[in-house]
Chain A
Amino acid sequence: MDEPQIAEPLIEGPKQSFWRNLSFVWLVPLAALAVTLFIAWQSWAERGQLIEILFENAAGVTADETMIRYRDVNVGVVESVSFSDDLTSVLVRARIERAVAKALPSDAEFWVVRPEVTASGITGLSTVLSGVYIQAAFDPSEIETGATRFTGLDTPPLVLPGMKGTKVTLRTADGGQLTAGAPIYYQGIEVGKIEAPRLLDSGTGVVVDAFITAPHDKRLTTATRFWQTSGFSVNIGPGGLDLSIGSVAGLLRGGISFDTVFSGGQPVTEGLVFDLYESEEEARSSVFKEAIENPVDLTVEFEQSVAGLTVGSPVVYKGVKIGAVSTLGAFIEEGEDGQIVVLRATISIDPSRLGLDPDTPAAQTIAFFADAVTNGLRARLISQSIFSRSLAVELAELPDAEPAALGIFAATAPLLPSVTSNLPDPGATAEGLMKRVNDLPVEELMEQAIATLASIESLAGDENLRAAPDAFVGLMDDARAMIGGPDAQALPGELRQAVAELRGVAEDLRTAEAVTKLVTALEDASEAATSVTDVAGAFDEKIAGVPDLIDGLNQLTEKANSLELEQFLTMATQLLDGADKLIDQESTRKLPESLTGALDEARTALAELREGGAVENTNATLASARSAAEAVEAAVADLPQIAERIDGLVSEAEGVLAGYGQNSRFNRDTLDTLRELRSAAEALSSLARALERNPNSLLFGR
């Protein structure tokens, strides 16, 4: 332990300075610190100015969520919502951007924007999703006011600060039709709004602030008049029926219109008070008397009643209103016949309305009137409308009027001569109308009407009339049954059949042709001859005509005998056969029996004729004629027709025979025969007529 040991050398490196030892890594926390501090400073700097807004209520305003907006841009956010110290209002603390806060004037307006549905439309719809926000409106101030405490509005202001326009005040007696926000129209265009009407402190009227937006407010002058346009109005007044209808929006919200009603108004200043009139007419008419800048007064005296004329009644000249009645009164004047009452009206005339210069001196205007009166200008009363009694003063030019002059007095206004006008008296007219109505025989008319109605009623109540429809129905049923019956149904068929038969007869007749007709004629002739012979036999030639006739017949028979009888007879027989055929036919059968009988006898006569000469058989013929007389007697009724037929047939036979051979002897003879036959037929006809007239002569021979 005593041996000293070599101390171990303590080897140390060079002492490094503290700074040299310092690592560059330390820059990192420094940088981090710097950045963090910068961020902290920045966020502090960006932190907005705290302001306080007092609201009556703050429905929907929530801390950290509700935004403050200015011109629809977020400028801040609500930090807290609490109450004011006295708990009377809600205190909203909000941070708004410093740049905005700097320009915030102390009268900045804040209100809570909520969704709202009004007659004007829907507003604040975006807040349904995003929640309410606080809208700020202010006119940015140049200098920093440092205001941090504001009072919020309950409702959005109608006029935002910074809006360009003119605010005027309207005065009215009744604010019943005014609602806040109601539009103001200028010639139908919405140019502004009114605020909520408020009572005057005195309680004697209502005033309302109206704001006209910028480009339109230059329309406002002192000559502007406002009136209410509340949808529509019906007014029956002195001016008659007045119906005015505004827009539908106006109907819902009410509204106010204005117009410049006369020229020469001065530009308005902010806050000027205007009167609000009930109607456009009132507004326009109210203007007039105020508008006369240089009125000229004239006096008019009326002798007739002026009932209906009032102060303010118009004075018209050729339909144009040139003035108004300013005073009206009755005055007692001393006249020649004692005291008379004169109704005197003072009228104010606007020279400019007459086309004169508005600044024309009164004297000059009066001179103009004096000149006009000399030329026949007169005042007279006219009715303003047919419906009312209200009157107007008309200045009419009546060249035929009695000469008069404008009475110029020192004391009173110049007197304009008047004429009595024929005013229609609505009362009298109505009375006359009523009287005329009264005179109508209304009661008699009514009585008659009642009686007529009663008779109609009794008729209608009659049983028979009631049964009539049933009878008609029965009749109709019967008729229907008859028409529907088999007989009626068969009728057309029968008719058709009859027509066919007739056609058949016609056909047969056609086939028989002329010869048939000739045979018929001959048969007739034979019959006639037989009859005549018979008659002659019966009356022993007492009748002078008959022997002649018999002679004629005999001659005829002789002639016939001398003719080529065989041929004729053959033909005649053929014809008779044809005639038989004809007679066999049903239609022929229906011919009169007597005719058939006559034909039979004619046949027998012909048979006898064939057998021998007619003369030889005269007696037999006469005998048969006697029997035929009866037939004749029966056929007497048919004789005229037979005679006619004979005549017609003879004519036809003549025609036929004419074609048979013009110059043959037979022809000629036949024609002669036929002519004699015709004369015989005529005689027969006259006989028949005689017999017809006196049938007994046939029996008694005379």
Chain B
Amino acid sequence: MENAGRPTQIVTARAAGLIGCTHCGRVHPSGTQVCTRCGTHLTPRSVASLQRVWAWWIAGLIVYIPANLYPMLRTASLGKTLESTILGGVIELMHHGDYGVALIVFVASIIIPVAKFIAIAYLALSVSHRVRLSAHRRHILFEVVEFIGRWSMIDVFVVAILSSLVRLDFAATITPGIAAVSFALSVAFTMLAALSFDSRLIWDAGEQEAGKKEKERSIG
């Protein structure tokens, strides 16, 4: 953070006409298509990256709607069939007094996915719009989103395990509902959205601004 105050003193690779490999980190001259070390396709920053982010994000959001409206679990017990959505399940758990479990389910199934949507959208928007959050913080946010994405699958795993274990015919049977598939897709799509996001764009935006300022200053 100590060099945050003097970004102009750093010569970025891009400014130097170089392109870095995202995989192994080797720097190549601009225009090189393939990394000479690891063979990764070298991609300069492009607006298409943001397109992909938005595409996955929207797809994730679309499937997130049925994931919440449709039943996650269909529990058949002694002839009675009970269908419960995610939120319905949380409320039911609270009615039973299992606040802890309800909180876990609520956080894992509602808070985190929604927070992910917001975070990815914020990051994507921050590339083209000025935001108050510094580039460093946004990068940390990105790291967090990418890390936490995989944990959103807890719900899906629970449903998969339950429905494969609880098959007692008439006594009790649990089958996954449409929401389980939707939710899994939603999580996958948001993860892809996070993956598609080129974190270098965060810095590029900062650099551009810094460059503009410098130019203005030199002009002025």
Residues of A in contact with B (beta carbons under 8 Å apart): 21-23, 25-26, 28-29, 31-33, 35-36, 39-40, 43, 65, 126, 129-131
Determine the main DSSP class of B at the interface with A: helix
Compute how far the CA of A151 lies from the CA of B70 in the bound complex, rounded to whole angstroms.
33
Q: In the complex where A65-B80, A129-B79, A130-B80 touch, is A21 in contact with B55 (Cβ < 8 A)? A: no
Residues on A with C-beta less than 8 A from B70 are: 39, 43
Q: In the complex where A32-B189, A36-B65 touch, is A23 in contact with B79 (Cβ < 8 A)? A: no
| Cβ distance A114 to chain B, nearest Cβ, rounded Å | 15
Compute how far the CA of A485 lies from the CA of B196 in the bound complex, rounded to whole angstroms.
137
| Cβ distance A88 to chain B, nearest Cβ, rounded Å | 30
Compute how far the CA of A131 lies from the CA of B52 in the bound complex, rounded to whole angstroms.
52
Tell me whether B58 and A29 are in contact (CB under 8 A): yes
Tell me whether B62 and A40 are in contact (CB under 8 A): no
Q: In the complex where A22-B51, A32-B189 touch, is A129 in contact with B59 (Cβ < 8 A)? A: no
The 8 Å CB contact of A23, one of B51, B63, B182, is B51
The 8 Å CB contact of A21, one of B48, B56, B63, is B48
| Cβ distance B60 to chain A, nearest Cβ, rounded Å | 8
Whether B144 sits at the interface, judged by CB under 8 Å, is: no
Compute how far the CA of A35 lies from the CA of B56 in the bound complex, rounded to whole angstroms.
15
Residues on A with C-beta less than 8 A from B47 are: 21
Compute how far the CA of A511 lies from the CA of B51 in the bound complex, rounded to whole angstroms.
165
Q: In the complex where A23-B55, A28-B55, A28-B56 touch, is A33 in contact with B48 (Cβ < 8 A)? A: no
Tell me whether A23 and B48 are in contact (CB under 8 A): yes
Interface string of B90-116 (1 = CB under 8 A from A): 000000000000000000000000000
Tell me whether A32 and B51 are in contact (CB under 8 A): no
Interface string of B64-96 (1 = CB under 8 A from A): 011000100000001110000000000000000
Whether B19 sits at the interface, judged by CB under 8 Å, is: no
| Cβ distance A450 to chain B, nearest Cβ, rounded Å | 83
Q: Can you report 25 residue pairs joining A to B where beta carbons are below 8 Å apart?
A: A21-B47, A21-B48, A23-B48, A23-B51, A25-B51, A26-B51, A28-B55, A28-B56, A28-B59, A29-B55, A32-B58, A32-B59, A32-B62, A32-B63, A33-B59, A36-B62, A36-B63, A36-B65, A36-B182, A39-B70, A43-B70, A130-B78, A130-B79, A130-B80, A131-B79
Other A-B pairs, 6, CB within 8 Å; known A31-B59, A32-B62, A32-B189: A29-B56, A29-B62, A32-B59, A36-B62, A130-B79, A131-B79
Compute how far the CA of A21 lies from the CA of B48 in the bound complex, rounded to whole angstroms.
7
Compute how far the CA of A21 lies from the CA of B51 in the bound complex, rounded to whole angstroms.
9
| Cβ distance B10 to chain A, nearest Cβ, rounded Å | 22
Residues on B with C-beta less than 8 A from A31 are: 59
Q: In the complex where A21-B51, A32-B185, A131-B80 touch, is A39 in contact with B56 (Cβ < 8 A)? A: no
Whether B178 sits at the interface, judged by CB under 8 Å, is: yes
**Using a Cβ–Cβ cut-off of 8 Å, how many residues does chain B contribute to the interface with A?**
22
Kindly list the 4 A-B residue pairs having the minimum CB-CB distance in the complex, ordered from nearest.
A130-B79, A29-B59, A25-B55, A29-B58
| Cβ distance B105 to chain A, nearest Cβ, rounded Å | 21
Compute how far the CA of A33 lies from the CA of B78 in the bound complex, rounded to whole angstroms.
37
Residues on A with C-beta less than 8 A from B196 are: 25
Residues on A with C-beta less than 8 A from B59 are: 28-29, 31-33
Compute how far the CA of A225 lies from the CA of B26 in the bound complex, rounded to whole angstroms.
108
| Cβ distance B11 to chain A, nearest Cβ, rounded Å | 18
| Cβ distance B42 to chain A, nearest Cβ, rounded Å | 17
| Cβ distance B41 to chain A, nearest Cβ, rounded Å | 16
Residues on B with C-beta less than 8 A from A126 are: 79
Tell me whether B178 and A39 are in contact (CB under 8 A): yes
| Cβ distance A46 to chain B, nearest Cβ, rounded Å | 12
The 8 Å CB contact of A129, one of B51, B60, B78, is B78
Residues on A with C-beta less than 8 A from B55 are: 23, 25-26, 28-29
Q: Which of A35, A40, A65 has the most C-beta atoms of chain B within 10 angstroms of its own C-beta?
A: A35
Compute how far the CA of A39 lies from the CA of B178 in the bound complex, rounded to whole angstroms.
9
Residues on A with C-beta less than 8 A from B66 are: 36, 39-40
Residues on A with C-beta less than 8 A from B185 are: 32
Compute how far the CA of A129 lies from the CA of B58 in the bound complex, rounded to whole angstroms.
46
Compute how far the CA of A32 lies from the CA of B47 in the bound complex, rounded to whole angstroms.
23
Tell me whether A25 and B52 are in contact (CB under 8 A): yes
Query: Can you name the residue of chain A whose Cβ is closest to the Cβ of B58?
Result: A29
| Cβ distance A489 to chain B, nearest Cβ, rounded Å | 93
Compute how far the CA of A28 lies from the CA of B185 in the bound complex, rounded to whole angstroms.
11
Q: Which of A25, A39, A129 has the most C-beta atoms of chain B within 10 angstroms of its own C-beta?
A: A25
Query: Can you name the residue of chain A whose Cβ is closest to the Cβ of B53?
Result: A25
Compute how far the CA of A131 lies from the CA of B196 in the bound complex, rounded to whole angstroms.
53
Compute how far the CA of A40 lies from the CA of B178 in the bound complex, rounded to whole angstroms.
11
| Cβ distance B109 to chain A, nearest Cβ, rounded Å | 18
| Cβ distance B201 to chain A, nearest Cβ, rounded Å | 15
Compute how far the CA of A277 lies from the CA of B63 in the bound complex, rounded to whole angstroms.
74
Compute how far the CA of A43 lies from the CA of B70 in the bound complex, rounded to whole angstroms.
10
| Cβ distance B40 to chain A, nearest Cβ, rounded Å | 20
Q: In the complex where A25-B52, A25-B56, A130-B80 touch, is A33 in contact with B178 (Cβ < 8 A)? A: no
Query: Can you name the residue of chain A whose Cβ is closest to the Cβ of B186?
Result: A32
The 8 Å CB contact of B52, one of A23, A36, A40, A43, is A23
The 8 Å CB contact of A28, one of B65, B78, B182, B189, is B189
Compute how far the CA of A21 lies from the CA of B62 in the bound complex, rounded to whole angstroms.
23
Compute how far the CA of A130 lies from the CA of B82 in the bound complex, rounded to whole angstroms.
13
Query: Can you name the residue of chain B whose Cβ is closest to the Cβ of A74?
Result: B81
Compute how far the CA of A35 lies from the CA of B80 in the bound complex, rounded to whole angstroms.
30
| Cβ distance A252 to chain B, nearest Cβ, rounded Å | 32
Residues on A with C-beta less than 8 A from B178 are: 39
| Cβ distance A44 to chain B, nearest Cβ, rounded Å | 12
Compute how far the CA of A26 lies from the CA of B56 in the bound complex, rounded to whole angstroms.
8
Q: Which of B48, B78, B79, B185 has the most C-beta atoms of chain A within 10 angstroms of its own C-beta?
A: B79
Query: Can you name the residue of chain B whose Cβ is closest to the Cβ of A35?
Result: B63
Compute how far the CA of A523 lies from the CA of B51 in the bound complex, rounded to whole angstroms.
180
Compute how far the CA of A130 lies from the CA of B189 in the bound complex, rounded to whole angstroms.
41
Query: Can you name the residue of chain A whose Cβ is closest to the Cβ of B83?
Result: A64
Residues on B with C-beta less than 8 A from A131 are: 79-80
Compute how far the CA of A423 lies from the CA of B113 in the bound complex, rounded to whole angstroms.
110
Compute how far the CA of A211 lies from the CA of B153 in the bound complex, rounded to whole angstroms.
62
Residues on B with C-beta less than 8 A from A28 are: 55-56, 59, 189
| Cβ distance A269 to chain B, nearest Cβ, rounded Å | 45
Residues on B with C-beta less than 8 A from A130 are: 78-80
Residues on B with C-beta less than 8 A from A39 are: 66, 70, 178
Compute how far the CA of A43 lies from the CA of B52 in the bound complex, rounded to whole angstroms.
31
Compute how far the CA of A28 lies from the CA of B53 in the bound complex, rounded to whole angstroms.
11
Residues on B with C-beta less than 8 A from A21 are: 47-48, 51
| Cβ distance A72 to chain B, nearest Cβ, rounded Å | 13
Query: Can you name the residue of chain A whose Cβ is closest to the Cβ of B57?
Result: A29
Query: Can you name the residue of chain A whose Cβ is closest to the Cβ of B170?
Result: A129
Compute how far the CA of A36 lies from the CA of B48 in the bound complex, rounded to whole angstroms.
26
| Cβ distance B92 to chain A, nearest Cβ, rounded Å | 13
Compute how far the CA of A36 lies from the CA of B62 in the bound complex, rounded to whole angstroms.
7
Query: Can you name the residue of chain B whose Cβ is closest to the Cβ of A133?
Result: B79
| Cβ distance A133 to chain B, nearest Cβ, rounded Å | 10
| Cβ distance B112 to chain A, nearest Cβ, rounded Å | 20
